[in-house]
């Protein structure tokens, strides 16, 4: 166990023993991270707030079943994803894609540091085009691939944590992330290939 995971589990045990105030420590610690995850799925800020609140209420009600087999935040992420999906079904909406989010967010996926070394109009245009291509590729991904790549690349979760959050084998997580990266790579490859750089 990591020190953070140990610390969280001790707090959980206090909650399980009846210390209701201890739960506020977990809410304060993870509220923002859960909200950030949900911005990738739910568009309306009020809806995000509602889903975050529902997530922590559900987690509190189920905390007696938490045994520390996974990290607390992996467990809460799984609850958040399921709560968001249920919310979207009742609202009859599809999860939001990165295409709908801020341009700044898309830059998280840009792994080519050479693009941002020289801020010429040409390089800025290329960076913008790559960001748009990434967004388009993300928008076209099935939900399971999109969730896996977001948890890995944006939230920085390990494969084990993603497997726990998505309730699937680690091999499935690796496959989903590989397929998501391949799809994104296919979209941005023409933009990075100098042979495809046609000028007028």
In this structure, the answer to whether residues 171 and 117 fall within a common structural domain is: yes
pLDDT confidence of residue 167: 82
How does pLDDT run across 163-197, given as a tens digit for each residue?
Answer: 888 888 999 999 999 998 888 888 777 777 655 44
Residue 99: alpha-carbon gap to chain centroid: 14
* Residue 21 domain boundaries: 3-91
Q: How far apart are CA 161 and CA 73, in angstroms?
A: 9
Which of 46, 66, 91 delimits the end of a domain? 91
What is this structure's pTM?
Answer: 0.56
Q: How far apart are CA 107 and CA 115, in angstroms?
A: 11
Q: How far apart are CA 168 and CA 160, in angstroms?
A: 10
Q: How far apart are CA 153 and CA 198, in angstroms?
A: 31
pLDDT confidence of residue 116: 40
pLDDT confidence of residue 23: 93
CA dihedral for 30, 53, 24, 163, sign (positive or negative):
negative
In this structure, the answer to whether residues 82 and 102 fall within a common structural domain is: no
Q: What is the dihedral of CA 179, 180, 183, 184, to 10 degrees?
A: -150
Least confident of 3-17, 67-81, 88-102, 166-180: 88-102
Tally of domains within the chain? 2
């Amino acid at each position: 166990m990591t020190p953070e995971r140990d610390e969280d589990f001790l707090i959980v045990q206090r909650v399980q023993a009846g210390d209701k105030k201890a739960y506020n420590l977990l809410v304060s610690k993870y509220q923002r991270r859960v909200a950030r995850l949900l911005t990738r799925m739910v568009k309306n800020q009020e809806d995000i707030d509602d889903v975050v609140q529902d997530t922590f209420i559900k987690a509190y009600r189920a905390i007696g079943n938490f045994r520390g087999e996974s990290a607390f935040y992996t467990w809460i992420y799984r609850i958040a994803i399921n709560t968001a999906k249920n919310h979207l079904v009742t609202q009859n909406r599809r999860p939001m894609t990165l295409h709908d989010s801020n341009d700044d967010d898309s830059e998280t996926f840009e792994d080519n540091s050479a693009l941002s070394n020289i801020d010429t109009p040409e390089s800025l245009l290329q960076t913008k085009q790559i960001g748009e291509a990434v967004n388009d590729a993300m928008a076209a991904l099935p939900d399971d691939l999109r969730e896996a790549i977001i948890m890995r690349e944006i939230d920085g979760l390990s494969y084990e944590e993603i497997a726990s959050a998505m309730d699937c084998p680690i091999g499935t997580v690796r496959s989903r992330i590989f397929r998501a990266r391949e799809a994104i790579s296919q979209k941005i490859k023409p933009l990075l290939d100098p042979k495809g750089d046609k000028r007028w």
